[in-house]
Chain A
Amino acid sequence: MAKVGVYVCHCGSNIAGVVDVAAVREYAETLPDVVVSREYLFMCSDPGQELIRKDIKDGLVDRVVVAACTPRTHEPIFRKALESAGLNKYFFEMANIRDQDSWVHGDDHAGATRKAKQLVASAVAKAANLEALEDTYVDVTQAAMVVGGGVAGIFAALDLANMGHKVYLVEKEPSIGGVMAQLDKTFPTNDCSACILTPIMVEVGTHPNIEMLTYAEVEDVDGYIGNFKVKVRKKQTYVDWTKCTGCGACAEACPAKVPDSFNCGMNDRGAAYIHFPQAVPKKAVVDMKHCLNCAGHKIGQEPRISKKTGEPMLAPCEKACAADAINRSLPWNPEGELIEIEVGTVVLATGYRVMEKEHFKEYAPDSPNVLTALQMERLISATGPTGGKLLRPSDGKKPKVLDFISCVGSRDIRHHTYCSRVCCMYMIKQARLLMEKYPDLEIYMHFIDVRTPGKDFDEYYTHAAEMGIHFIKGKPGGIEMLPDDRLRVLGYDSAMGENIEVDADLVILATAIELPEDAQKLAQKFSMTMDGSGFFKELHPKLKPVDTPIEGVFLAGCCQGPKDIPDTVAQAKAAAASAAIPLAQKRVKIEPILSEVYPEKCSGCGICVPLCPYNAISLKPYADRPRAVIDMTQCKGCGVCASACPSGAIILHGYTDDQIYSQIAALTQSA
């Protein structure tokens, strides 16, 4: 006979404010197998856990039910309490009477109390049928992968590498650097982005523990914490990187014209190009989609022979390459190279993109003088399309009046409801830099609210106002195009309570930060869950900010939500520290909530094999015929096989038929 102890938690007023906790406790006392029932303000606190430990040690109980919050965060805590009192920790069951009861039935106290009783009865019924289970351990592959080579990925990789771990840094572009490499200067200290980032990029490039896989993308992921197998596709560069010196001669020679994504499409690059001048690694790639096949020399073919000279006719990029790194006659495989990498942990740092202006029809997206703020960064950057000179795109003349619009696509139910967090500050930064460089400019900035919550941020903002930058509280609802290519911004000044207009040479839209589509695809490969804003969801917003529902996979940077550089670096270092824990522990625990086949009952029908979403089941010979076997390291305990098995040969430990039927029986009896 099991001796079940029931412990009902008030959770402060979270539960007790709705559910009649005393009534639930009293009801629990009446349930079969229950020997003691208690209540406490916070069961998860030390005095709360002590109630459980004491009852176990006193021999009073040998099965524990806690009616409290969610097992997602608190089950491990209570299991530890059982373990420390000498009881098998799987003799524990939790009834979630907070998230699934008091929080959702706040307007029906009686109903919520009734539901709490039923949930407790169900947990007690299961507890009586629990079996003792043992954890197992597997070794951890001593390497980590960081996906994304922006500032988040760079710092995560560096910290892991400096701890002595082997790190694979995967980046889809030819160079690491990310969006930060595109920025001119950074708030609130106005230090140059390139000056602070490029030395660190070099450090990554030369670190003995870091293997950079740039121009590469994750194709597939398999495995589990400690033993991930990641397939990475190294895209075809059509340049022999072992020979390429990054001199850039091929890029200069290439006659193709492709909008330069690094400069946000404001100028053209060649089909042969180097990502940007400070690229790491500084290697050329040929973008074959836009290659013109000069001199009729297609990839993989022998060059044509000139009738005049009798010499082979080479493409300009080939001719220009002194290192012989471009040889178009070689049979390049367009698919690139697929490699499989084994790692123990993964940090996802895939970054963000800013929305393009085309989404905002009311803001004259067809005008070349309407820019996104990232385009503005390139326009004022010394490495940008104008060499850092502020010129109006429509005519190349110096503008006199600039107008900035904030919350373009952010805080907007038509696009994204969240605040992109960095726009206010980078707009003010751009305005300040421009005012310092061109004091005769008139700069107007429209905000719904100015949000400057970071360290030294508000001082940065108020100084901008003192510099003569005009701050207007009110979101413009439209832009009219004037005949001379200027733009009339239709605004409203909430402080004055009046309509206002600005006739601007340039309009800069602070477009929202969002997760790019390729990151959404990556999310599926890693089985990430997404939050309401479309970013990767952390396991707990406060207590597990870099963890994910997939153990061993961690998050850093803007893929988890918009943030500035200081926050990104802090999160990257946190993710690196978390990702290092399993590597340092060298082995990870596998919980025994797994499926197991009783080979004697198995008919070998094989129904379970294709059903398993984790490819954990195979048929292996046993006695007279092949029967199902489950690989414990692959099984995630989902239970699909157990529910499908026609012979009842598969058991999911922790969720056996007996346990579940007893729960159903308890739930269907009215409390």
Chain B
Amino acid sequence: MEKCGLYLGCNIPFKAPDIEQSLRQVFPPLGVEVVDLPGASCCPAWGTAPSFDIDTWLALSARNIALAEKQGVDVMTGCNSCFGVLSEAKHVIDASAAKKDVVNEKLATIDSAYAGSSKIYHIGHILHEKIGTEKIKKNLRYSLDGLTAAVQPGCHLLWPTKSMEVTEENPFFPTMLSDLCGALGLRAPTYSNIEACCGMGAMRSTDQEKSFILAKEKLVRMKEELNPDMIVTTCSSCYLQLDGAQKIFRDRGEIDFEIPVFYYTQLLALCMGADPAEVACISDTPRAAIIAEIQSEQRRMK
């Protein structure tokens, strides 16, 4: 069985551990053994070391990647931001022998070393490229036939293509997540601003109301163009924003609709028969009804 190092980041283990649980449950039956990276830290987030000093950022990222290298595995991240930071760090270090020396000088002080032998993947890439939709289909117990999703791949999964191991055929009109949804029987058509930012992360912590302008535009266009049964994302930040901000908009009377939000592996785990109390139980926008629908008798596959 292929092994892959699960890089958790911060959001998933601390704010949405049901996503972590879904990641741990879906991969082994699909033929990928999840290997922990003990002692992994923050990637570090864009707002921390990368905003102060390049070499410090690279050293902290390289330390995380080195944990995977030591076990001889590639890295897979569940968080788009972590994917972006680690990919970019690897890209910068691998492009310059001098940079690599600087980083390894720093790592030497903590008995670590970066070689550049592990690749950085997002879990979406592992599912789409390494496992493939056919294998996913074979492991399902429930089908989402007839349901519609609005997908949110998230910025860091799309750009910049120059530093990514796997890229969309056209990153401005992404299709990977729609394909993955299709494997579950879910209809996931594109919509006009599929590539747009949800406003989470640095923007929300800088000015929540401005960040909500983007989140609301996203939600309204999803609703108007697709009227979806659910939103599916592969970004933990987008997940938190589209789920949490949606509730705030409803509470304020700014929108009058409710679209449950799933991180893709949560939905996949449910379709594979996982216990929703473990893999999809933390959200601001209610999901009980749609989860009951997903795991209903008539959706059980023969």
Residues of A whose CB lies within 8 Å of any CB of B are: 361-362, 364-366, 478, 480-483, 488
> What would be 11 A-B contacts, judged by CB atoms less than 8 Å apart?
A361-B172, A361-B173, A362-B172, A364-B172, A366-B173, A480-B193, A480-B195, A481-B173, A481-B192, A483-B191, A483-B192
Q: How far is the CA of A114 from the CA of B225 in the complex (A)?
A: 74
Assess whether A364 is in contact with B225, with CB atoms less than 8 Å apart: no
Shortest CB distance A105–B (Å): 27
Chain A CB within 8 A of B112 CB: no
Assess whether A482 is in contact with B192, with CB atoms less than 8 Å apart: yes
Chain A CB within 8 A of B170 CB: yes
Q: Using Cβ atoms and an 8 Å threshold, which residues of chain A touch B171? A: 361
Instruction: Give the dominant DSSP class at B's interface.
Output: loop
Chain A CB within 8 A of B190 CB: yes
Q: How far is the CA of A364 from the CA of B192 in the complex (A)?
A: 11
Chain A's closest residue to B168 (CB) is A361
Shortest CB distance A423–B (Å): 22
Assess whether B172 is in contact with A478, with CB atoms less than 8 Å apart: yes
Assess whether B173 is in contact with A488, with CB atoms less than 8 Å apart: no
Shortest CB distance A485–B (Å): 11
Query: What is the number of contacts between chain A and chain B, taking CB atoms within 8 Å?
Result: 23
Q: How far is the CA of A361 from the CA of B161 in the complex (A)?
A: 12
Q: Using Cβ atoms and an 8 Å threshold, which residues of chain A touch B225? A: 483
Which of the listed residues A364, A482, A483, A488 has the most CB atoms from chain B within 10 Å of its own CB?
A483
Assess whether A488 is in contact with B172, with CB atoms less than 8 Å apart: no
Q: Using Cβ atoms and an 8 Å threshold, which residues of chain A touch B170? A: 361, 365-366
Q: How large is the interface on B (under 10, 10 to 19, 20 to 34, 35 or more residues)?
A: 10 to 19
Binary per-residue interface labels of chain B (167-187) against chain A in the complex, 1 for a CB within 8 Å, 0 otherwise: 000111100000000000000
Q: Using Cβ atoms and an 8 Å threshold, which residues of chain B touch A365? A: 170
Q: Using Cβ atoms and an 8 Å threshold, which residues of chain B touch A480? A: 192-193, 195
Q: How far is the CA of A362 from the CA of B173 in the complex (A)?
A: 8
Q: How far is the CA of A480 from the CA of B171 in the complex (A)?
A: 12
Q: How far is the CA of A483 from the CA of B170 in the complex (A)?
A: 19
Q: Using Cβ atoms and an 8 Å threshold, which residues of chain A touch B195? A: 478, 480
Q: How far is the CA of A580 from the CA of B72 in the complex (A)?
A: 71
Shortest CB distance B213–A (Å): 12
Shortest CB distance A585–B (Å): 56
Shortest CB distance A504–B (Å): 13
Q: How far is the CA of A391 from the CA of B195 in the complex (A)?
A: 29
Q: How far is the CA of A279 from the CA of B210 in the complex (A)?
A: 60
Q: Using Cβ atoms and an 8 Å threshold, which residues of chain B touch A362? A: 172
Q: How far is the CA of A361 from the CA of B193 in the complex (A)?
A: 15
Chain B's closest residue to A362 (CB) is B172
Chain A's closest residue to B194 (CB) is A480
Shortest CB distance A631–B (Å): 52
Q: Using Cβ atoms and an 8 Å threshold, which residues of chain B touch A361? A: 170-173
Given A361-B173, A480-B192, A481-B190, 13 more pairs with CB closer than 8 A = A361-B171, A362-B172, A364-B172, A364-B173, A365-B170, A366-B170, A366-B173, A478-B195, A480-B193, A481-B173, A481-B192, A482-B192, A483-B191
Chain B's closest residue to A477 (CB) is B172
Q: How far is the CA of A364 from the CA of B174 in the complex (A)?
A: 11
Chain B's closest residue to A483 (CB) is B225
Shortest CB distance A51–B (Å): 54
Q: How far is the CA of A395 from the CA of B61 in the complex (A)?
A: 51
